Amino acid sequence: MGTTQLDAVQEPKYWHLKSVLSDALDSEFAVGEILPNERDLAARFGVARATLRQALDQLELEGRLQRRRGVGTTVAPPRIGVPVGSGQHTWPDEQELWEPVSVSLESAPAAIARMLGTDGGEKVHTVRRIRARGGQTVAAQLLYVPARSVPGVDGDDVAAARVVRELGRHDMAGQDRTVELGSARAEDARELDRLPGAPVLVVTTRYTDAGRTVAVSVDTYRADTCRLTFSDDGSLLAG
Amino acid sequence: MGTTQLDAVQEPKYWHLKSVLSDALDSEFAVGEILPNERDLAARFGVARATLRQALDQLELEGRLQRRRGVGTTVAPPRIGVPVGSGQHTWPDEQELWEPVSVSLESAPAAIARMLGTDGGEKVHTVRRIRARGGQTVAAQLLYVPARSVPGVDGDDVAAARVVRELGRHDMAGQDRTVELGSARAEDARELDRLPGAPVLVVTTRYTDAGRTVAVSVDTYRADTCRLTFSDDGSLLAG
DNA sequence: TAGTGGTCTAGACCACTCA
DNA sequence: GAGTGGTCTAGACCACTAG
């Protein structure tokens, strides 16, 4: 005959564990507080460490936890609202949000070259910048500016700020923007203080002037700590 | 003395594995093609199955692979561009994108009630809808409409379409929108044909009319198959 | 040097799909 | 019923942080 029914719907352990921990986080822990270490937690819940880690992985993905090797696991603060703009007011140098790190002049990766129309292999200024907010680096950017978009810039040894300034001469009429999930490449991970492969939100923007694409930026935001905000009118409401 | 230097930078196995698989995906596999099963792949690369799975997990997160229990792992098509709008042209019923599933009249969750200003516990029409694109359900929505926003709707037994239609009477003047990473709740997962906990992009929109919040929607998009697109002018460029 | 999270192994069993 | 991906275990060692 067997058990009549309703044996519980076979919810995976790590899923149930996540709920329990999530509730505990709400009621028993303050932001910044350190959790017991993984071995202890696993023992306390009577599961293998790998199973516990599955639950912690999810909570970290949702921005509830923050883990640092050699240190421990802490309760994360609410995500930071990061204005990504939406209206005409946004261009690559809006409000000095981005701090230049480096520049180079090279051919763009295939996917970018296609957007820029530089498939022929024309050289592109590749500006690397970072964006901080709340005392933390929240995003790493690669800004691709074809040489033809900034005729005022010449020579090989160019400052990042110079390229950006020259780019500002354009009437940035419109822009297309996409947001998707990605995982941090080694280089970005280093700048975001995360491990390679960490989940990130990738914002790709194509800046156009009179129908022509004058620049493309690929912005990599920490997905654990950031909430991208858009708004319709002038008043940017961050959170 | 030890080995001089350059012992390879201690790149984790699964990370290297991911690169190798990623390259193979580009050069040797067509979209939709089935990969060897996990046990075979692990053996072929000389790693434990768990390690191989770490690499596959990442590739799936990036939308390169699609895995289905009982079936196998296939090469995923490029992500679908899903217009999420940006300009004034967007309101909850734009272009009949959303198909109603159900409605109920209840108190909103705390976080939503705060945005709506219904902290007192006023009843809110909760409309559940789904959005399809390319023959696939790409998003599940919860649309919260306070009873006061749709005075034309009365009684307990209300059709979802009715609520949405009445809501359309408002001048949706502006809207704030946020995008963040989340994991699919059981209910959403079912509708998106994913497992609970699958990574999703959560788009939260607050619709306002003359400064007052008249509705809030929480849209849960599949992160593996979707690329959210925004644009500045009338012409929505999807991809 | 002690303690933390990150990686890795070699197994086992389960839930699901499909012929 | 055979084959797939999903869950889980009980270990081990490594990389990193901090006292």
Instruction: Report the CATH number that the domain containing residue B97 is assigned in CATH.
Output: 3.40.1410.10
- Asked whether residue B37, judged by its CB, lies under 7 Å from any atom of the DNA or RNA strand D, the reply is yes
pLDDT of residue B232: 60
> Residue A228: which of A140, A138, A161 has the closest Cα?
A138
Q: Are strands A65-68 and A72-75 parallel, antiparallel or unpaired?
A: antiparallel
Task: Tell me, yes or no, whether A103 and A20 share the same domain.
Answer: no
Residues of B in contact with A177 (CB under 8 A): 86, 229-231
pLDDT of residue A234: 38
Query: Looking at the domain assignment, is residue B1 inside a domain?
Result: no
- Asked whether residue A49, judged by its CB, lies under 7 Å from any atom of the DNA or RNA strand C, the reply is yes
Residue A105 pLDDT more than 80? yes
Which one of A138-152, A162-176, B85-99, B168-182 scores highest in mean pLDDT?
A138-152
Task: Tell me, yes or no, whether B94 and B47 share the same domain.
Answer: no
Residues of B in contact with A79 (CB under 8 A): 180
Task: Tell me, yes or no, whether A25 and A69 share the same domain.
Answer: yes
Query: Distance in angstroms, CA of A137 to C1' of C9?
Result: 36
The parent domain of residue A53 ranges over 13-75
Query: Looking at the domain assignment, is residue B56 inside a domain?
Result: yes
Residue A77 pLDDT more than 80? yes
Distance from CA of B232 to the nearest CA of A (A): 6
- Structural domains in chain B (count): 2
Q: Which nucleotide is nearest to A53 (CA to C1')?
A: C5
pLDDT of residue A154: 72
Q: Does B174 touch chain A (CB under 8 A)?
A: yes
Which of B178, B205, B217 best tests the A interface by mutation, with the highest count of A CBs <10 A?
B178
Query: Looking at the domain assignment, is residue A239 inside a domain?
Result: no
pLDDT of residue B238: 34
Task: Tell me, yes or no, whether A96 and A193 share the same domain.
Answer: yes
Task: Tell me, yes or no, whether B84 and B170 share the same domain.
Answer: yes
Task: Tell me, yes or no, whether A107 and A170 share the same domain.
Answer: yes
What tens digit of pLDDT does each residue of B106-146 get? Answer: 999 999 999 998 887 889 999 999 999 888 899 999 999 99
**Smallest CA–CA distance from A208 into chain B, residue:** B232
Task: Tell me, yes or no, whether B41 and B88 share the same domain.
Answer: no
Task: Tell me, yes or no, whether A35 and A144 share the same domain.
Answer: no
Task: Tell me, yes or no, whether B51 and B129 share the same domain.
Answer: no
Query: Looking at the domain assignment, is residue A237 inside a domain?
Result: no
pLDDT of residue A165: 86
pLDDT of residue A181: 97
Task: Tell me, yes or no, whether A93 and A193 share the same domain.
Answer: yes
What tens digit of pLDDT does each residue of A40-56 get? Answer: 999 999 999 999 999 99
Task: Tell me, yes or no, whether A56 and A142 share the same domain.
Answer: no
Q: Does A88 touch chain B (CB under 8 A)?
A: yes
Query: Looking at the domain assignment, is residue A5 inside a domain?
Result: no
Average pLDDT of every residue of chain A: 86
Task: Tell me, yes or no, whether B53 and B95 share the same domain.
Answer: no
pLDDT of residue A156: 64
Long-range Cβ pairs for the range B194-197 (8 Å, 24+)? B194/B222, B194/B224, B196/A15, B197/A15, B197/A18, B197/A58
Q: Does A156 touch chain B (CB under 8 A)?
A: no
- Asked whether residue A211, judged by its CB, lies under 7 Å from any atom of the DNA or RNA strand D, the reply is no
Model confidence band, residue A9 (pLDDT cutoffs 50, 70, 90): low
CATH number at residue B44: 1.10.10.10
Segment A75-85 shows an average pLDDT of 92
Residues of B in contact with A53 (CB under 8 A): none
**Other Cβ atoms closer than 10 A to A79:** 21
